[in-house]
Amino acid sequence: MKLFRKTVAVTAAIALAGTMLAFSPKANAATVTPTNLNGITLGGSVAGPLTSVFKGYDASTATVVTFADMTGQVFDNSGIYTYRFTVTPADGTGGTFQEEHVKKFNTNFSVEGFTGVAGWDYTQPPSYGGPSGSGGFAVTQLSNGTRYWIAAPTGTNAQAEWWNAADPVTFFFQSTKAPAGPGSYGLADNINGSALNYSVVPTPASALLAVPALALLGLGYMIRRRNQQLV
């Protein structure tokens, strides 16, 4: 656990790496029918809870900032592993960037063994002014040589502006694969960046994301434009 926590506390380069990969314009999207977290059986906890932070490049100040946190935990129900993550955009306190109108939460790695079951806590979006039931997010898989799981808020406009600072949302996906090490997760809108937490891929696969990250410094505006084109 100590080694895992040290791995999570990586440099800003790794934190910035995965977003560009997950939002590749060459990716083909497959719709996933969402499931209410409150309607599934989690089983016993096998990992976590573990809290990590999202870091990203703020083009307006040319600095790397902390703009959200996530708490992950993994459960095992007879070989079906539920990866559960509560994501909370930062509110600007404690030296964080105030994140508003979050547009996407995603994995930056292939969800090996994905069962097709993913979703969120249906009670949360309505409490923030968002759609009820399965209307809170659009859940997709992107395929560009591998598969990435993405949840994008839905609403009356492209921004789906109901998911704002200090509004926690709990997501999940299920896999037949046990946690194998830290993987990169992305969060995007005003700031685009990543955080490490439990995943179905081993540490070396996630660490490879650091290579393209070196080219991302100073490209916050380009990443934002690319995301807007994909919405």
Domains of the chain, by residue range, sit at 2-230
Q: For residue 57, is pLDDT > 50?
A: yes
How far apart CA 191 and CA 146 sit, in angstroms, is 25
- Out of 47-51, 151-155, 190-194, the most confident range is 47-51
The residue among 153 and 124 whose pLDDT is bigger is 124
- Out of 11-25, 75-89, 211-225, the most confident range is 75-89
Q: Which strands make up the sheet holding 137-143, listed edge to edge?
A: 28-31, 137-143, 147-153, 104-107, 181-188, 192-199, 44-58, 63-77, 80-89, 169-175, 114-120, 35-36
- pLDDT for 86 equals 98
CB 155 within 8 A of CB 92: no
Which of 2-16, 136-150, 158-172 is predicted least confidently? 2-16
* % of the chain beyond a pLDDT of 70: 71
Average confidence (pLDDT) over 52-78: 94
- pLDDT for 143 equals 72
- pLDDT for 119 equals 94
- pLDDT for 27 equals 56
How far apart CA 227 and CA 37 sit, in angstroms, is 27
Average confidence (pLDDT) over 208-215: 35
CB atoms within 10 A of CB 2: 6
Q: For residue 81, is pLDDT > 60?
A: yes
The residue among 164 and 214 whose pLDDT is bigger is 164
